[in-house]
Amino acid sequence: MFIDYITSSLNSLKQYKLRSFLSMLGIIISVFSIVSIITLGQGGKELIVREFTGSGTDLVVAHNDQMTETRMDKFAYLTEAQVEAMKRKIPGVADLAPEYLLSTTMKVGGENKRIPVIGVPANWFDIRGLDLVVRGRRFTEDEVRHSQKVCIAGQELFNSLFGKSKALGQEISIEGIYFNVIGLMGHKLKLGPFDINNALILPSSCMQRLLGTQEVYVVMFKAKDGVHPSVLKERIGEYLRETFSGKDLWAVHTMDELIKILDTVTNIISIVISSIAGISLLVGGIGVMNIMLVAVRERTREIGIRKAVGATKWDVLWQFLIESLILCSLGGGIGILTGVSLLLLIARLMNLAIFVSGGAIVLGFTFSCLVGIFSGVYPAYVAANLNPVEALRYE
């Protein structure tokens, strides 16, 4: 029976192609926006998080946190061996790297400037995950092992020291020792307190010599796949507390706070655009209802004929309800198809990884069906309750 209703509805929609399409358009546009917004919202958030934090959300930072301590010799530090041990002893650590920090004064463009210097092992770049090096290369494990005097300079710093057009291979003097510039780095973001464009990165081994110590005050951790950073953070905190005989001398952070802010922003954007899409879906639904009412009026005589040959109220009601449902679900389907194909096209053109969310598709389709029912009920009710004698007389 329902197959009959469906074929009959499809026939009448085919009859009024343009009108059907126009009334579908509202639904198409709103479902299209719902699908794109949800997909972009989810994919985009992933993308922004990656962009902001480098390796994404699996980074945990531990550092000395004795804010009120003024005496250097009282600072709680880790030795290189202790740091290495953490990799084995704390479950869920994929990799880790200490960061050695130093601030040096340099004459840049005629004035003395304080330049942050960061000493790191070669695996640090992978843990950070940032595509820091924009020109040249990073240093290798070998270079670290042999304390090669190489460095990576912030782009801005390099330009003001040597000029833009200068080739790599220039030498920079740090605390009296000359380092060969093998790479330039640039990033929109500050890495913690440092402006990466005006900083220097050295092999950790060279840094230890410069500092004259192997004491570690900052360690970067990368969580294993499937280990939530906040869980790892707890474990690291626990481990450090034990190391420092139960005292909270070090602090541990995840990228949670950053992610939370991003979440709030993207959620607000999603909510705003979703409500606009919701409103347009409502308007689309009203459009469909309007068209259905016109159709009922136009086909009054047809309804009379159908009733005269034996159609019940329910027969007529179903006919119009299914017609409206088909109109909306078809609109929803087209909206989803165009949305998804446009997203895939954008993904391909901009070389982005966009994952079309199944939830968005289901949501968009469900909503368009609901709108179909909502906007079809009243016109179908009107049609079903027409008096057959009057309907047959209708011109």
Partner 1 sequence: MLIELCEVTKVYPMGKQGFYALKGLSLSIEKKEFIAIVGPSGSGKSTLLNIIGCLDKPTLGKYLLEGEDIGQKDDFSLAKIRNTKIGFVFQSFNLLPRATVCENVLLPLFYSRIPRRQRRGLAEEILEKVGLATKSNHRPSELSGGEQQRVAIARALVNNPLIVCADEPTGNLDTTTGREIMEIFAQLNKRGATILLITHERDIASYASKIIYLRDGEIVECS
Q: Using the rule CB under 8 A, give the single segment among 173-181, 189-197, 307-315, 346-354 that binds partner 1.
A: 307-315
Q: Using the rule CB under 8 A, give the single segment among 135-143, 187-195, 198-206, 299-307 that binds partner 1.
A: 299-307
CA–CA distance, 95 with 159 (Å, rounded to integer):
34
Residue 239 CB partners (closer than 8 Å, separation 6+): 86, 89, 90
Task: Name the CA dihedral angle for 120, 125, 126, 132, rounded to a multiple of 10 degrees.
Answer: 170
Contact yes or no for 202/218 (Cβ under 8 A): no
Smallest Cα–Cα separation from 174: which of 200, 148, 213? 200
Candidate list 302, 337, 338, 347; residue touching partner 1; CB under 8 A:
302
Candidate list 191, 307, 356, 360; residue touching partner 1; CB under 8 A:
307
Nearer to partner 1, 167 or 309 (CB): 309
We find the least distance from the C-beta atom of residue 18 to partner 1, in angstroms, to be 16
Residue 236 CB partners (closer than 8 Å, separation 6+): 60, 62, 86, 90, 93, 221, 252
By the 10 Å C-beta count (0-12 exposed, 13-18 middle, 19+ buried), 190 is classed as exposed
Candidate list 259, 306, 365, 383; residue touching partner 1; CB under 8 A:
306
* Chain mean position to CA 22: 35
Does 212 help bind partner 1 (rule: CB under 8 A)? no
Tokens of 218: 């900052």
We find the least distance from the C-beta atom of residue 351 to partner 1, in angstroms, to be 50
We find the least distance from the C-beta atom of residue 359 to partner 1, in angstroms, to be 38
We find the least distance from the C-beta atom of residue 325 to partner 1, in angstroms, to be 19
User: What is the maximal distance between C-alpha atoms in the chain?
Assistant: 106
Candidate list 72, 309, 349, 350; residue touching partner 1; CB under 8 A:
309
Does 298 help bind partner 1 (rule: CB under 8 A)? no
**What is the total count of residues that contact partner 1 (CB under 8 A)?**
23
Nearer to partner 1, 173 or 312 (CB): 312
CA–CA distance, 279 with 170 (Å, rounded to integer):
61
Binding mask 6-45 for partner 1 (x = CB under 8 A): -----xx--x------------------------------
Residues that bind partner 1 (CB under 8 A): 1, 3-4, 11-12, 15, 301-302, 304-315, 388-389, 392
